[in-house]
Each structure stands twice: as C-alpha cells, then as structure tokens.
Structure 1
Amino acid sequence: MIRWFAKNDIASNLLLVAIVLAGLYTAFNKISLEVEPSHEIGEVEINMRFRGASPQDVQEHIVKPIERTLRDLPGVKLIDSKARSGSANIDVEAEEGVDLRELRDEVETRIGAINTFPGETERPEVHIPNTSNWREVLTVAITGELSETELYKTARRIENELLNLPEISRTDMRGNQPLEISIEADDQKLSDYGLSFEDLVGAVRRSSLALSAGSLRTPVGSIMIRTDGQAYTQDDFAKIVVTAADGAQIRIGDLATIKDGFEDAQMMTRFNGKPAIMIDVLRAEDENAIKISDAVHRYIDQTSDFLPSGVGVSAWDDESIRIRGRLSTLGNSLLMGAGLVLLVLGLFLRPMLAFWVVIGIPISFAGGVLLMPYFGLTANTMSIFAFIIVLGIVVDDAIITGENIYTKLREDLTPLDAAVLGTKEVATPVTFGAITTIVAFIPLSYFPGFWSAWTSQIP
C-alpha cells in the first residue's frame, strides 16, 4: 500500500486534495459551533403558583399531594421539590432509557386528577427542560429610567426585532415582573345588583378554568384531553358573566374596573445601576453560536441610535467568546507548529521534505473533521481541546517519519525507495504510539450520566 501510493503520486495528491476539500465542506456545513456539548437532563419539571401562600402552606397543599401521586410512577428515579413563598418547583428525574415525553404526559395526567388544590392556586406547568434542544448564546440587556410598562414595551419590541433576524430562532425574556390583571369592584354597583365580591370571585373561578381530562392511548401515541376556558386578557375577564339575585346576567366589566399591569415587585433586575430587562438569545443544536453572536452585535450597533432617549442596549455574558478563544488557540498552534517544523526541518533536512511534512498536519486534521459528524461530535470547547492535544502527536509523527526518509536518502537510495523504506521502518512504532494514546482516552467515552456529554468529545 505504501509503495503503491509512493509510485502513483497523482492518485496520492488527488486523495489529499479530496480529504482537504471534504474536511472544509464538513467544517462549514455539517458541524455546528457551540460552546458546550449538547446534553439532555432526563427530568420533567413542574411549576405551580399559590399566590400569597407561605412556604409551609405551599409544601402542605401543593408539594405533598404531588409527591404522593407521583411516588409510585414507573420510570421515576428521584423527586426533588422546592417550596417557596407563593410557588412550588418539583423536578422529577427519570431513570435511564425512559421516554421523557411519555413520562411528562403521565405526570400531567396524574397532577390533573388531584382535586385537593386550594382555589388560589394556578394551573400547574409541566414541561421537559429545553437543555438538549436550546442553549443560551448571550444575553441582551435593555436598560433605562422608564416606567415599568414603557421598559417592558421597549424590551418586547427589541425581542421581536431580534427574532426577525434570520440567524435567531428563539429568545427568552426575564427580569420583568409577571403580568397581572387586577379587578377592582365598584361597591355601589355590586349593591345595586344584590351581589357581593365573593360572587365575582366565584364567577372568575368557574369561568376562567382549564381542566385535564386524562389521556387517550392510540396506536400512534397518547392524546391529552383537556378543556381550556382560561381567561388571559383584560377583555376576556370583562366578558365573564355574573348572575344577580334576580337572575339578571351582568358582565364583570360592568361591575368592576379591570386593569392590565404587573405584579408587585418581589425582585428587581438592574444592569450598570439602571433598571433592566434581559433577553436571553438561544440557539438550536444545528445553529452556529458565533453567527448568532455576530448578528446580535450588528443589531445593537445599528439600533442604538434609534432607541428612545435614555434607553440603552448592551450584550453581555457572550458564551461564543470561549469558543472563539479555543478556535484562536487551535489556529495559532497550527500556524506556530507548522512554521517551526518547516523552519527546523528546512534547515537540517531538505526544504521539499520539510514542506511535505508540514502539509501532512492540516490533512490529518481535515480527515478528523470529516469523520466528526459520523460520531455525533460538534465543534465545541471540548472537541477543540482534543484537537489541540492531538496536534503535538501529529507533529511528532510527521517529524519522525520525515527524518527517517531523509536518513535513507543520505544512504544513496532513490527518492522512491527512501520514501517507501523510511516510512515502513517507522510505520509500526508510529501506529502503535497513536493506538496507545487512543486506548488511554477511550474510557472517557463510557462516563455515566451527566458528564458523558463532555468527556465523550475527547476520544
């Protein structure tokens, strides 16, 4: 094989060019750039609000009933619950191999069957965390000494403009107070119709309700059955009907003033000393973190001059900086390594031989990049770190092989025989040297649990 490639230089050169072109195509079209390897947290998350309740009440009336109903659920490894003032958060960790979507449906069905929740509780939110599908790239901070409503409207407009950029497919807003609809009843009007405030509360509870009716299993999957009469907007609540003592039907909008607003502030977000709302820019698994970061920075540069007076937009916590640093380190190492090899071998060996030794370095890397998609690998800080480790091995092997070929040339062998014999003599030790390195790193592929997504990138 070595002699055949040495004799057929056209075929060898075509193969090298094909490897380089295929590696470049794969790098730019099939490998996504990300900061950390994609990983999936095998859990279902439950969030439920109990407005005005103490942590003890939340634990007694929300956490304990949910834990009891999920305790014997198949596929559940661990239930981790947190009770806070006004809300509960419950993480249901799944066992290995459990279908998270089926587990989520079953959890939602069981929680929907609980009928002991207090009337002040809101509908529970059951979802699978998006850790595997969406990753944060950077955060956009919108700051300004504005009213809460104006700052929220400005942040919402900026969020919509970001989503209109072709590079961005999802954002999450945080730092703003939750929206709240307040109903301020007119005592005189209630008295005129013989109604009490409790009648309004009862009408809202009966008319603004979403109920789960379980699930229906079919050959193609599970279908969730639920009724959704939940009111969400000011107009929705204004249209709710209250029945007076004489049987008259009156809308709540005729009995009370309904306002859209925000909850009382329990947490404040400030950036550089000013009130702020944050927009997290996320990416999907196949999206490029660097392109997204560049698009956001371009948007900020172009938009800053057109914002209302006193409003500032800043990008921070840019995760793409880390991968830019690793790519820069890899590129600089390649250039420095190739330059030093070319200089040293050119001085002490033949310049043409030094050139071909240097050419072998990027070709080896192109071959590695070409194979990455087939092993489920992406360009991230861990895989780039692995390339940096391998760089030294590739350079060493290239120098050893080149030096041995040069030795054969000095023994008056023809260039063809020197290339073949010199390569054959060191092929076995070089190959086994690479194999021992591979074997040393293979155990990293079998790390269990959460860290396997990181360690499996190195071998």
Structure 2
Amino acid sequence: MVRLALRHPGMIVLGALLLLAFGVVTVGSARYDVFPEFVPPQATVQAEAPGLTPEQVEALVTRPLETTINGSNGVATVRSESIQGLSVITVIFAEGSDPFRARQVLAEALSEAAGRLPAGVSAPKLSPLTSSTMDLLKIGFVSDTLSPMALRDLVQWTVRPRLLATAGVARATVFGGELRRIEVLVRPDDLAARDIPLSDVQSAVQAAAAVRGGGFSETATQRILIEPTSGAVTPQSLSGAVLPAATGLPVRIGDVADVVEAPSPRFGDASVMGRPGVLVSLASQYGANTLQATRAVEATIADLRPGLEAQGVTLYPALHRPANFIDAALGGIRTDLLIGAALIGLILMAFLRDLRVAFIAFVSIPLSLLAALIVLDRMGQTINTMTLGGLAVALGVVIDDAIVGVENIVRRLRDAGPEMDRQSVIEAASVEVRAPVVYATSVLALTIAPILFLTGLQGSFFGPLAFAFLLATLASLAVAVTVTPALSLLFLRRVRLHEEPRYITRLKDAHARLLNPICARPRAVALGTLGVGVMSLLAFLAFGSELLPSFREGHYVLKITLPPELLRDPESLGGVLVRSMTTAVPLSQIATLRTVDARTSINHEAGQRRQVVTVHPTRADVSGFVRDAKARIAADVTLPPGVSLQFSGVAEGPLRKHHWQIAPVPL
C-alpha cells in the first residue's frame, strides 16, 4: 500500500479530501442521542377493568394476558403490575430480534386473547415500541383565566393531536387539570317512588349516548344523508331522554337524576412551576433521532404559542428536555476533542519545528475520527456520549502511527544526499517502520477487543465506546500507510528540511545516559517491573467498583404522602340506597362495611409475583456492598418457603464486569 500511495499521491490526497467532505456531511446528518440503546426494545399492554380490585385484576386479567404474551415469538421478559381497575404489562423483546415483527406477532396474539377476558374489561391496548431513551420532552400549561377543566380540554383536544402529528413522537400523555365527563347522579328516592329500577336508567343513558347512523334517502336528483341526532351528547340531551315507566307515563332521566358536567376522579395531578396546571409528557418513537424530534416538537409549540397565549395560557415548553443533556454532553466532548487536537498541534510544532511536517502528522486526526464516525453511521448506530468518549480516548492514539512514519521519513531525508531520489527515500523510510506500526496497532486492538464481547447493560454501554476506539485506531493505521507517505512525497520532495533542534539533541543524549545503566541490569529491571505489576493488581482489587458514575441531572423527584385525615371516609358508602323487591334500604343494613389493609398493586415477572426493594448503596464499591448485603440477609433474615432473592439493576453490572475483565485476555 505504501508503494501504491507513492505512485499515485494525487489520487490518495483526493480520496482523503473526499473522505473529509463525506465525514463532515455525515456528522451533520447523523442521529444523536444521550446514550447508546442500552436496553432491548419494549412495549406496554394495558387493559382497563373498572371496579376490580388489584387481586381480581391479577387473577382475571393479568394472568390470562401473561399466558398469551409468554407464548409469543421474540418475547424475552414479561413484567406486569395489577392495580385497582388497570392491568399494565411490560413486554421486553429478545435482544437481536426484529422488534417490529415481534410487536406484530404480539398484537395478533392479544387480539385473540381479548375475547377471553371477563365482561366489562376493555380490550388490551398495545403501546408503540419504546426504548431506553424514549423520554423526549415535558411541557407545562397554566392559566389564570381558564378553569382546570377548560385548560385540560384545550390541551387534550387541541395541543395533543398536533404534538402526536409531529415527526418522531410516539406518545403524548396528559396529566393534571380536570378531565371532563357527564355524570348521572341518580336520586334513589325518586327511583323508588316511580318504581323504576336502576338498570332502566343505565339502558336509557346508553341509548341516548349512542351514535346511530340514519342511512340516506334517494331523490330524483340527489342523495340526502339522514343524521338522527347532532352527535353531541350534552347534559341537557341526556336529561331529556325518556325512561320506560311502570305507570305508562313518560319519565325523563332528569326527573330521577341530576345530569351534570363534572371532573373525573383523579388518579394523579400536575403542578407546573408551583401552580396547578396541565403537564404533557412526550415519548419518542423507537429509533427516532432525539435532537431532531425535539426540535420538530419545539417548532410545533412555536406555531401553537400565539393561540394559547391569546386564551390566557402560559406555556413552559422545556420543563424536562433530555436534548439539553445531549447538547451539553456532546458539546463538552467536542470541546475536549478540539482542545486535545490543539495541544497535539502545539507539541508537533515544538518537536518537529516544521509546519509542513506537523500538518502531515496532524491530518491523521480528522481523517481517522471521521472515518470511524462514517462507519458508525452506516451501521445504524447513534453518535452519543459513549461513542464520542471512545473517540476522545483514541485522540492521543490515532496520531502515533502517523508521527512514527513522518518522523522516520524526515530523519531519512536529512541523512540522504541531494543526489538520492526522494521518492525512494520516503518509500524506504515508510516500509522500514511499517511492521512496528502494524504490530503496535494490532496489539492495541486486541487489548480493547474483549470489551466488545461484554453482554447485558455493561456491554450495551461500553461496547460502542470500545468499537469507536477500535475503528479510529484501525483508520489511523490505514492513514499512516497511505496518506502520510503521499503527503510526505508532495510536501517534502523539493524542500530542504531544518536540522534537528539542539534541545531535541540534548534530550536524546540525556535519555541515552539514563537508558544505558538500566539496560545493563535487565534482571533488576524485570524484577522491579514484576513488583510494580503485583502492587498494581493488589491496588486494583482493593478499589471499589460501579457501573457508571453519578449523573448530575439538575432535577429531582419529590414524593408526598397525604395524612389519613385528608382521605375520603369509605364508611360513607353505607348510606347508599339499595333497591329491594318492595323498597330501598341503605347498604349498611344488608352488608358489613369495614376498612382493611390490602395491596394497592401486585407485580409479576416471568409469571411469578415480585416485590421490588430499591436500595441506594452507601459507598461507591457496589460489588462489596452487594456482597455484604447478601451475607447480612443470609444471617438475619429467614425467607418464607418459595421466596428467593435476586440482585439486579446496577448491582449486576460490576459483577459481570469483573467476570469479563478476568476471562478474555488476548494472547
């Protein structure tokens, strides 16, 4: 390759320029994200079961759905949570499988399972595919002029559809405000006086709220569509609906019930900047570009802002914006790369003392890094903090090969006489150091290669870093054996090089005086090196370990628990009238009501109940903390039969990391 590059230096330089241009275009159009995709794709299945307790939801809804989902292809793990009136099942697809095909298979299985659910349970809904970095943006809305119900209506029916239509948005969840609904508040005394059962009221409400088609009527010249009602259900239209009565006289729903608009019972609320408001949480589509999707959403918000402000709504468009972290992290790494490149340039000028020679060595940095980014982008990977971190680590390595080659070329050109062919000198100098450069790069690649074989969370995090480092290192080798000789021939063929600076000569002499006595005692040097290696290994084993350092995210989660006196008294249910064959009696007369402790949610994993205990380690040594916790639990806690413990989350990372640090050693 060296000889080919020296025969066609112009073509090699042209190829390098094309690589630079294509690399710049790739960097501008590449997908950026905070982290690499460190968890497999997943989807959520939700089924509403109004009125059922968590135990009933678990037995009647969650378990049948779990049985169906576990039999689907491409499913790795199934986790569920059964709460009052709702079953939420998280499906994690197998790593390496096609998530879109697996989701389609899952959707087909759920459509068959929907018919086997109890009456009153809604059909299970399958959410879009989500990823580890799906959180896109949180937007807040507050108003001093609109009521909480009007504000919720505005966000629910005007803002949310526009946000969902934005490219890259998969889900928009609305919190806070008051969700409007029509309530039919039956008066039991009036029902009993007219001898009307509650089921008749329910049937009349359903009939009045139903939307029916009226068909059409043909005339000689046109077809006339028939609309039985306006389609809008209001409290007034429901109140005027007629009930069947035992006496035969027409009775309207309004005669036995109060029909009003009221907010739905709240299962949560939202506070925006300390004020009651509405919060919209956006999730990105699987594989979407976080930065591009965020900017598209912000453009949509900018279009909506004038209309919202005209109605007295104050908008907070970036309560939580993960793209800020991407910008800050990528900007910081880009700054580090630029500073490192500038320092390398200064060192080259200080030691080589020639701008042309320094440029020949320096050009390997952008070529190697851009080549690595092109390969990453072509493979569908994102540019994230880990890949850029790998390039930052490789910054001081990618220039080594070029420096070795160009320094030897300069030295040989200084020693060569004016009658010698410079192309032959450059070729001989490049070939002379080719083998050491290839060997050194190969050893470096083998050293970093074991990280590529890590699995699980740690492999997803550190694999892209090692891969980016490896690509940049291999690209620097290709640059050193092609571009460096070609540029040396073009720039140094007719140039008289400066003599080596005196301080460089003095540094070499000092190094020789230090090296000669060391080389005279090889056994002592070997023993000293072995001693330092053993001490380093012991110090390494004494270090604590954790998968990732703590992140300063700039926000926190606050949990508030209400005192019991603020909760609604459940014993008030005893005053509800229950209609018998002849009269209506309070519920407390025919039933015993009492308050008992019960589970608010039931969690499953792999078809078994699961209770999660979240622990924050008190020291940085996560592995040591887990080891001590296991010993303490084994000594002090007696688990019931059939109950087992499993440490997961961050605790898994260091344990697997130690295993892979010891096992794959390149030879």
Same fold by TM-score greater than 0.5 = yes
The residue number in structure 1 matching 2:174 is 174
Greater Cα shift, 448-457 or 137-146: 448-457
Instruction: Please provide the CA RMSD for this pair.
Output: 4.2
| Cα deviation code 1:226-260 (max 9, x no counterpart) | xxxxxx97469959997666999999799766555
Please say which structure displays the higher CA radius of gyration: 2
Aligned to 2:339: 336
SS in 1 for 2:31: coil
Instruction: Answer whether contact 2:140 2:279 (CA < 8 A) is retained.
Output: yes
Residue 387 of structure 1: how far off its partner (Å): 1.7
Describe how 1:162-241 pairs up with structure 2 within 5 A. 169=169, 172-176=172-176, 180-185=181-186, 195-201=196-202, 234=233, 238=238
Q: Give yes or no for the alignment of 1:435 onto 2:442.
A: yes
How far off its partner does 1:10 sit? 1.6
CA-CA distance at 1:123 after TM superposition: 0.5
Map of 2:360 onto structure 1: 356
- Residue 353 of structure 1 deviates from its aligned partner by 0.7
Deviation of 1:188 (Å): 9.0
- SS at the partner of 2:36? coil
2:415 counterpart letter in structure 1: E
Give the Å deviation of 1:19. Answer: 0.6
User: SS of 2:389's equivalent?
Assistant: helix
- Residues 102, 264 of structure 1: alpha-carbon distance in 2 compared, 3 angstrom cutoff: same
Instruction: Give the C-alpha shift of residue 17 in structure 1.
Output: 0.9
Match of 1:345 in 2: 348
Q: Matched residue of 2:340: which SS?
A: helix
Task: State the alpha-carbon separation in 1 of the partners of residues 69 and 161 from structure 2.
Answer: 42
Aligned equivalents of 1:64, 1:285: Cα separation in 2:
28
- Report deviation, 1:438: 3.2
Which ranges in structure 1 are unaligned for 5 or more consecutive residues? 210-231
1:403 aligned residue (391, 395, 407): 407
Structure 1 letter corresponding to 2:19: I
| AA partner of residue 411 (structure 1) | D
Q: CA deviation at 1:38?
A: 4.1
Amino acid at match of 1:82: E
Check whether the contact 1:46–1:124 (CA below 8 A) recurs between aligned residues.
Answer: no
State the alpha-carbon separation in 2 of the partners of residues 348 and 204 from structure 1. 89
* Deviation string, structure 1 residues 386-433 (Cα, Å, up to 9, x no partner): 222222211333333332222222222665344333332333333333
AA partner of residue 127 (structure 1): L
Q: Secondary structure at the match of 1:36?
A: coil
| 3-state secondary structure, aligned to 1:99 | helix
- Aligned-pair CA distance for 1:368: 1.7
Question: TM-score when scaled to structure 1?
Answer: 0.76
Q: Could you tell me whether the CA contact under 8 Å between 1:38 and 1:285 is conserved in 2? A: no
* Distance across 1 between alignment mates of 2:139 and 2:382: 26
Whole-angstrom CA distance in 2 between matches of 1:328 and 1:445: 26
Following TM superposition, by how much is the alpha carbon of 1:362 offset from its aligned partner in structure 2, in angstroms? 0.8
**Superposition deviation, residue 292 in structure 1:** 4.2
Give the total of aligned pairs: 430
The corresponding residue for 2:278 is 277
Amino acid across the alignment from 1:58: V
Q: Does 2:375 align with 1:371?
A: yes
Picking from 52, 58, 71, the partner of 1:73 is 71
- TM value normalised by structure 2: 0.55
Give the aligned partner of residue 82 of structure 1. 81
Q: 8 Å contact 2:60–2:117 — kept in the other structure?
A: no
Q: In the aligned structure 2, how far is the partner of 1:444 from the partner of 1:242?
A: 73
Question: Taking structure 1 as reference, are residues 285 and 101 closer, same or farther at Cα in structure 2, changes over 3 Å only?
Answer: closer
Unaligned runs of 5+ in 2: 211-230, 468-667
1:7 and 1:416 in contact (8 A); partners too: no
User: How far apart in 2 are the matches of 1:418 and 1:254?
Assistant: 107
| Residues 191 and 295 of structure 1, relative CA distance in 2, 3 Å threshold | same
User: Which has the larger strand fraction?
Assistant: 1
Aligned equivalent of 2:325: 322
Q: Which has the higher contact order (CA 8 A, sep 6+)?
A: 1
C-alpha spacing 1:79/1:323, structure 2 compared with 1 (3 Å): closer
Partners of 1:44 and 1:103 within 8 A in 2: no
Is 1:387 aligned with 2:369? no
Please list the CA deviations of residues 249-287 of structure 1 after superposition, one character each: whole Å capped at 9, or x if unmatched. Answer: 999799766555432223222132112322234444665
How far off is 1:46 after superposition? 2.8
